[in-house]
Structure 1
Amino acid sequence: MKIGDLAAQSGLSPDTIRYYERIGLMPLPVRDGSGRRDYGDDTLRWVAFLEKLRDTDMPVRERLVYARLRAKGPETAPERAALLRTHRERVRERLLALQAGLDLLDAKIEGYERGEIR
């Protein structure tokens, strides 16, 4: 698939894809006979994973560490798992904080609906 196809299917802009390649988050793609980037389905899956990491606020520097480890091969699986465990714990902590905020909002809304304005 060409960069426009990858962009359409991933939701990223072509500029973002090029940026990810430039900084090392994505491996450089093969080029077709005309020199245009040519991506496989594995790239689409990788980009989807990267976006989940971004959506959960993993810093770019940590995504870069993960990408570099991935590029080194399966022997880095323990290091990648450790990186993901650390990130998962931060996500869980954030979810707890968000839930506490949501609970407070619910209580305030219920108070207003009962006419208790404070």
Structure 2
Amino acid sequence: MLIAEVSERYGLSQDTLRYYERVGLIPHVNRNKNGIRDYTEEDLRWVEFIKCMRGVSLPIESLIEYVRLFQLGDDTVEARQQLLHEQRQALAARMAEMQVVLDRLDDKIARYDQTIGKRERTLNRP
């Protein structure tokens, strides 16, 4: 699959895909005889994985380390699992912080709704 097709399929710019490849987030992408990137199904799985992880703001550095460890083989399974656990803990902490903010926003919106409701009831009096 050509880079333009991958870009469209995953909603990532071609520059982003090139960057991901350059920093090692996507292991080596094969090129056709004309030197054009030709993404395989395995490459697409990496793109999907990276997009998912970046979608929740996992650090690029952690993902680069994960890919590096993956490429080293089965001897790194425990290290990869540890890295994933650490990232999960960090994500759970961020989600908890976001829930606090969401609750605060809900409270603020409810107070506005109450104020507007009172004003509207006042305006609708005969």
The normalised TM-score by structure 1 is 0.88
Give SS of 1:28's match. coil
**Which aligned pairs between 1:94-113 and structure 2 lie closer than 5 A?**
94-113=94-113
Q: How many residues align?
A: 116
SS at match of 1:96: helix
**Counterpart residue type for residue 110 of structure 1:** A
- Asked if 1:40 is matched to 2:40, the reply is yes
Q: How far 1:79 sits from its partner (Å)?
A: 1.0
Amino acid at match of 1:50: I
Identical counterparts, % of pairs: 39
Q: How far did 1:38 drift?
A: 1.1
Greater C-alpha radius of gyration:
2
Paired residue secondary structure (2:21): helix
Q: Is the 8 A contact 1:4 1:14 kept in 2?
A: yes
Q: Which runs of 4+ in 1 moved over 4 A?
A: none
TM-score (norm 2): 0.83
Q: 1:30 is matched by which residue type in structure 2?
A: N
Q: Which runs of 5+ in 2 are unaligned?
A: 117-126
Structure 1 residues without counterparts, runs of 5 or longer: none
Mapped contact 1:10–1:44 kept (Cα < 8 A): no
CA RMSD, Structure 1 to Structure 2 (Å) = 1.6
Worse overlay, 27-36 or 44-53: 27-36
Deviation at 1:75, TM superposition (A): 2.5
